[in-house]
Amino acid sequence: MSAKQKIAIGADHAGFAYKELLRDFLKDFQVQDFGAYNAGSVDYPDFAHPVASAVESGEFPFGILICGSANGIAIAANKHQGIRAAICWENEIASLVRQHNDANIICIPARFVSEELAKEMVMTFLNTAFEGGRHAARVAKISC
């Protein structure tokens, strides 16, 4: 993984603190913050869609989305063709979604994981390669 890899990041109000933490943690990467910009109540699709669009366009190879459960942001992001947004709550899952599913957006449930685990999962996600092989044919069947 290039030290200057571009990453798109976004969160709703429930994920705001983790977004700020992760953005600062990823100081060796080129992180673009798509909001939210404070902890006031907002609608998660308003942040999931811009991050997903940035990854979908190819401008960013990876995205990070955070909300309370990660379900809403994952659902919204996965409406975009070419997006494979995966909810991760354990480090092994962060590895497997890259290896087997070629996930390009990690979705973190801020209410259910620690800050340290969130950082660990992000680094695992960013540093794990897609295995291809038998998984490539399966991933190719995802888009409608």
Q: What pLDDT digit, counting tens, does each position of 96-127 carry?
A: 999 999 999 999 999 999 999 999 999 999 99
- Which residue ranges are tagged as binding site for D-ribulose 5-phosphate? 12-13, 68-72, 101, 111, 134, 138
- Is the pLDDT at 34 greater than 70, yes or no? yes
Long-range (24+ apart) CB contacts under 8 A made by 133-141 are: 135/99, 135/100, 135/101, 135/102, 136/102, 138/100, 139/84, 139/101, 139/102
Q: Regarding beta strands 62-67 and 85-87, do their DSSP bridges make them parallel or antiparallel, or are they unpaired?
A: unpaired
pLDDT per residue as tens digits for the range 62-85: 999 999 999 999 999 999 999 999
pLDDT value of residue 21: 98
Overall residue count recorded for the chain in this entry = 144
Superfamily of domain 6-140: Sugar-phosphate isomerase, RpiB/LacA/LacB (3.40.1400.10)
- Give the burial class of 22: count Cβ atoms within 10 A of its Cβ; 0-12 exposed, 13-18 middle, 19 or more buried: buried
Query: Known catalytic residue: 100?
Result: yes
- Out of 49, 67, 80, 88, which one is annotated catalytic? 67
Torsion of CA 57, 36, 26, 113, to 10 degrees: -110
- Is the pLDDT at 3 greater than 80, yes or no? no
pLDDT value of residue 89: 98
- Out of 49, 88, 100, 135, which one is annotated catalytic? 100
State percent of the chain over pLDDT 90. 88
Helices and strands of the chain, counted as H and E runs: 6, 5
Separation between Cα atoms, residue 63 and residue 55, nearest integer Å? 6
